């Protein structure tokens, strides 16, 4: 069942509504040092702040979901976290959902603290959803999975080459590790409408047929779209047509159009149009 609190629609329902209105593009906000260079900005807090706030101001009114990569903000310490808080607030004000890419995964009280920080509604880092790692056991994600009205995207089959040996390893039941994660997520989403709150991360560059996603009943975050080589044709081969519940994540392909805000918006619109076609 979808989890909700009084007066707040569950994440899966809010995501479906946002995608229906704005399309399935998820825009990354990644103040990578190389991108700061290409925008003519210094590799310091002021340059990172200029980059991140200009990007979110241009993109958040356009797309359904923005995805700040927390590591690029954390690299600047407390000052970077303060910028991340502003990015989250501005994205929400512009009507975008915020998927904070933190890839947290731990046990017990530590995982509960992560859930409180990012999904509890009491801090300025509060997001609509976060990415999480299940590799201390899917059950260890309980505090995040139980965050009322919020979403999680669980790493299942990622696009980096180093992941294949672990994520495609066979378990005693004959399933791959990645498939078992998808199946656990599907159990969490049983009966939810229109989508459950528990998504999975599946790289757009993996081989078709590696995973069965037909019973997931939840969203899929598909990194690897754009700069990493996957196009719309690859998305359809992997996830079918139409791309129900699939968020195509693009960072560098959009951000390379900066620093001009109009060029950033136009870049996002062009990518979104390919997904709509």
The parent domain of residue 34 ranges over 11-276
Q: What is the residue-level pLDDT of the chain in tens, covering all 277 positions?
A: 466 544 479 999 999 999 999 999 999 999 999 999 999 999 999 999 999 999 999 999 999 999 999 999 999 999 999 999 999 999 999 999 999 999 999 999 999 999 999 999 999 999 999 999 999 999 999 999 999 999 999 999 998 999 999 999 999 999 999 999 999 999 999 999 999 999 999 999 899 999 999 999 999 999 988 766 788 999 999 998 888 899 999 999 999 999 999 999 999 999 999 998 6
pLDDT at 4: 53
pLDDT at 6: 45
Residue 50 lies in a domain: yes
pLDDT at 225: 85
Taking CA atoms, 241 is separated from 50, 143, 218, 235, in Å, by: 38, 34, 16, 9
Residue 26 lies in a domain: yes
pLDDT at 243: 84
Residue 185's φ and ψ, nearest 5 degrees, are -65, -40
**Chain centroid, CA 247 distance in Å:** 8
Please give the radius of gyration of the chain, using alpha carbons only, rounded to the nearest integer: 18
Residue 224 lies in a domain: yes
Helix (H), strand (E) counts: the chain: 12, 8
Residue 87 lies in a domain: yes
Residue 60's φ and ψ, nearest 5 degrees, are -60, -30
Threshold 0.75, pTM exceeds: yes
**Peptide bond preceding 156: is omega within 30 degrees of 0, i.e. cis?**
no
Residue 4 lies in a domain: no
pLDDT at 226: 74
pLDDT at 163: 95
CATH number at residue 202: 3.20.20.70
Name the β-bridge partners of 239.
none
Residues with a known catalytic role: 103
Residue 5 lies in a domain: no
Residue 1 lies in a domain: no
**Number of domains the chain is built from:** 1
Residue 17 lies in a domain: yes
């Amino acid at each position: 069942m979808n989890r909700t609190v009084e007066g707040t629609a569950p994440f899966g329902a809010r995501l479906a509504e946002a995608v229906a209105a704005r399309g399935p593009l998820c825009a990354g906000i990644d103040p990578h040092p190389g991108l700061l260079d290409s925008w003519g900005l210094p590799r310091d807090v002021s340059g990172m702040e200029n980059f991140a706030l200009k990007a979110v101001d241009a993109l958040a009114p356009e797309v359904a979901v923005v995805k700040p990569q927390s590591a690029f903000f954390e690299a600047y310490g407390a000052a970077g976290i303060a910028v991340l808080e502003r990015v989250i607030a501005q994205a929400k004000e512009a009507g975008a959902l915020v998927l904070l890419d933190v890839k947290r995964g731990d046990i017990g009280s530590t995982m509960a603290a992560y859930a409180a920080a990012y999904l509890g509604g009491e801090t300025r880092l509060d997001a609509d959803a976060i990415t999480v790692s299940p590799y201390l056991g899917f059950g260890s994600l309980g505090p995040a999975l139980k965050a009322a009205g919020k979403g999680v995207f669980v790493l299942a089959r990622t696009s980096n080459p180093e992941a294949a040996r672990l994520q495609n390893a066979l378990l005693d039941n004959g399933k791959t590790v990645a498939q078992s994660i998808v199946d656990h997520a599907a159990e969490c989403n049983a009966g939810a409408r229109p989508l459950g709150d528990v998504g999975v991360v599946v790289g757009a560059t993996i081989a078709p047929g590696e995973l069965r996603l037909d019973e997931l009943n939840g969203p899929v975050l598909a990194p690897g779209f754009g700069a990493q080589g996957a196009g719309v044709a690859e998305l359809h081969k992997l996830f079918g047509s139409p791309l129900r519940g699939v968020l195509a994540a693009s960072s560098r392909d959009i951000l390379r159009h900066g620093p001009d805000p109009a060029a950033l918006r136009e870049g996002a619109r062009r990518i979104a149009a390919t997904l709509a076609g």
